[in-house]
Amino acid sequence: MRIILPKQIGTKEGNLLFKKSEKIEDFDEGREIVNLLKESLERYRRGVGLAAPQLGISKRVFIINIRPTENHPKLPQIGFRAYLNPEILSVSSETNRDFETCLSVFYATLSGIVERPSYVKLKYLSLDGKEQIEDISHPFQARIVLHEYDHLEGKVFLQRMRPEDFSKLIWQEQLDLRKRFKGSQDEKNS
């Protein structure tokens, strides 16, 4: 498989990250995008969500895959979910503040504090085109869904940060996603 590294802010390819995505009309195309997102996220072995614009596709599709891992055993067991043409119906007034990172912001090396609602009600289409409504009450899952939804709206987490929190940004160069693939045959083919 050829590795498609996520598009990055500050690059010509990354300009798409700041544009609102188009609705999915063709569900065969939607399934193909979901498969590409899932395959890419599994290959990165980092992150719990990925949106189509991060791979250079301006469509309203994102996935999440939240489960406990060796490094993060306290994550909830939500599993894999695909969201096509999602719409936020409501969010809670209750919020929480936590660190976020993004595969499209310096290859997941920069983390910053973002305040997000703890609950979100989302309407979306399933892979077969059926309308779904999901009440997401786990604050971590709500955070991830809202983070990925932002990508469809042309926003990255840095735009959600309070100005006073920029002094608390954390840079962790060793987490650079590209290091995982450096010198691999897949990277040479990309």
* Residues forming the active site: 148
For 146, phi then psi, to 5°, come to -70, -35
Handedness of CA 147, 153, 158, 161 (dihedral sign): negative
- Tell me how far apart the alpha carbons of residues 176 and 186 are, in angstroms, rounded to a whole number: 17
- Tell me how far apart the alpha carbons of residues 60 and 82 are, in angstroms, rounded to a whole number: 11
Non-local (6+) Cβ contacts of 129 within 8 A are 27, 84
Non-local (6+) Cβ contacts of 10 within 8 A are none
Non-local (6+) Cβ contacts of 25 within 8 A are none
Taking the chain, what is the end-to-end CA distance rounded to the nearest angstrom? 9
For 111, phi then psi, to 5°, come to -125, 140
- Tell me how far apart the alpha carbons of residues 24 and 84 are, in angstroms, rounded to a whole number: 7
